[in-house]
Amino acid sequence: METDKNDNMRDLENYSLLAHNTFGVDAHCRRFLEYATIEEAQQVAQMLRESDLPYIIIGGGSNLLLTRDYEGIVVHSAIKGIKRHEYMLCCGSGETWDDVVAYAVDHQLYGAENLSLIPGDVGASAVQNIGAYGVEVQELITEIEAVEIATGEVHHIMQAECNYGYRQSRFKHEWKNKYLITQVTYQFQSVFKPHLDYGNIRMELERQGIKPTSKELRKVIISIREAKLPDPKVTGNAGSFFMNPIVSREKYEQLALLYKDMPHYTVDAEHEKIPAGWMIDQCGWKGRSKGRAGVHDKQALVLVNRGGATGQEIVALYKAIQQDVKKKFGIEIYPEVNVL
C-alpha cells in the first residue's frame, strides 16, 4: 500500500517494475521508494539505514534487465526541474535526459546534440557516463549533488572525482549504492562546434545536403537512432546491450589481416575500439531469436523482447552471443546493461 506521509514521496509494497524497465519484463520488488525533493531523499536514506533489506537504485530502467522478483527495496528519483545559469543547466535527477538535450538545443546551449534520444534519466547519465557518436556526457558534467545514504548528508561531487571512463564511473564501483543523486549540473558551449566524424553522421548530412545547425544535427541524430533502434514502447529493449570492446593495437592488427572491412575507432596509440554490433553481425545473430528473445534485425547490438520474454530468456540469448563472439574473434564482450 502507498503511504500518505508526504504528498510526493511514494512508499509501496509488492510493486510491479514493469513501468520501470524498457525491456518490458514484469518483475516485482518487495518495496519501492521514490523521492521528489532533496529532503525526501534524506528521508529515504534514513529508511534504508533502518531497514535490513538490500536495495538498488534505478533511473529510467533503460539500462536494466530484470531476471527475477527483487526481494528488497528499489529506490527511484522523481526530482524534476531544469534551472539555467548562463551556459550551465542544473537538472533534477529524475528529469528525462533527452528533455535536457532538447532544452539545451532550444536555448542555444551546445555540446549535447550527439547524445540526443539516449533513453534514461539525468541521474543515470552521471552514473553510466552515457555516450554516443563520439561524445560522452562526462564532457558536460561539472558537478553532482547527492545525499550520502550512510549519513544523510548532502555532498557536492565534482566531475574530476568521478573517475569517468568508457561507460564507467565510481558510482558503478566503489560508490555503488552509496549516494542518492538529486541534481546534475552540465556546462555547455557558447559556440556550436559539431562532432560529425563518428558513425554515419557526416554521410547522412551530405545525403541531405545539410550544413547543420544544432537543431538540424539533433534531428539527424534522432533520425539515425530511430532508423536502427526499436521504440521500447513497441518492442522491449534496452538500446545497446553490449559495450564496444577496447583491444590492444596488436590484437586489432591481427584481426584486421583477417577482416579487411572491420570497422574500428582509435582510442589512443595502443588501443582500438571494435564495434560489438559488427562482430555480433559477423557471427550471424542479426535478426535471429532464441525463444522469445531476439537480436534486432537492423542493429545487432540491440537485444529485443519479442513478446513475453523473461529475463532468463534474454540472459540465455546474450550468453550465447558472447560465446560465439569469443570463439570467432577471441574477444570478450560484456553487457552495458545492469543484470539483476
Q: What ranges in 168-272 are assigned the alpha helix state H?
A: 201-208, 214-228, 249-258
If asked whether residues 89 and 36 sit together in one domain, one would say: no
Tens-place pLDDT, residues 271-314? 999 999 999 999 999 999 999 999 999 899 999 999 889 999 99
C-alpha dihedral (174, 161, 41, 20), degrees to nearest 10: -70
What's the pLDDT at 5? 42
Decide if 124 is inside a domain.
yes
If asked whether residues 182 and 273 sit together in one domain, one would say: no
- Whole-model pTM? 0.82
What's the pLDDT at 6? 46
C-beta atoms surrounding 47 within 10 Å = 19
Decide if 305 is inside a domain.
yes
Decide if 228 is inside a domain.
no
Decide if 213 is inside a domain.
no
If asked whether residues 40 and 124 sit together in one domain, one would say: no
Decide if 219 is inside a domain.
no
Query: In angstroms, what CA-CA distances link 114 with 107, 140, 194?
Result: 16, 12, 8
Confidence of residue 3 (pLDDT cuts 50, 70, 90): very low
As annotated, the active-site residues are 167, 240, 336
If asked whether residues 73 and 142 sit together in one domain, one would say: no
Confidence of residue 7 (pLDDT cuts 50, 70, 90): low
For residue 182, is pLDDT > 80? Answer: yes
If asked whether residues 67 and 89 sit together in one domain, one would say: no
Confidence of residue 233 (pLDDT cuts 50, 70, 90): confident
Tens-place pLDDT, residues 183-208? 999 999 999 998 887 767 877 777 77
Tens-place pLDDT, residues 63-110? 889 999 999 999 999 999 999 999 999 999 999 999 999 999 999 999
Average pLDDT, integer, range 253-258: 92
End-to-end Cα separation, the chain, in angstroms:
24
What's the pLDDT at 160? 96
Query: In angstroms, what CA-CA distances link 86 with 96, 130, 183?
Result: 21, 24, 17
If asked whether residues 93 and 72 sit together in one domain, one would say: no
* CATH number of the domain residue 20 falls in: 3.30.43.10
* CATH number of the domain residue 323 falls in: 3.90.78.10
If asked whether residues 92 and 177 sit together in one domain, one would say: yes
Q: What total of structural domains would you count in the chain?
A: 3
If asked whether residues 95 and 172 sit together in one domain, one would say: yes
Q: What is the residue-wise DSSP string for 242-264?
A: BPPPEEEHHHHHHHHHH-TT---
**Residue 289 belongs to what domain range?**
236-339
* CATH number of the domain residue 115 falls in: 3.30.465.10
* Cell of residue 67, nine digits: 531476471
* Exposure b/e, 208-238, CB count within 10 A at least 16 = b: eeeebebebbbbbbbebbeebbbebeebbbb
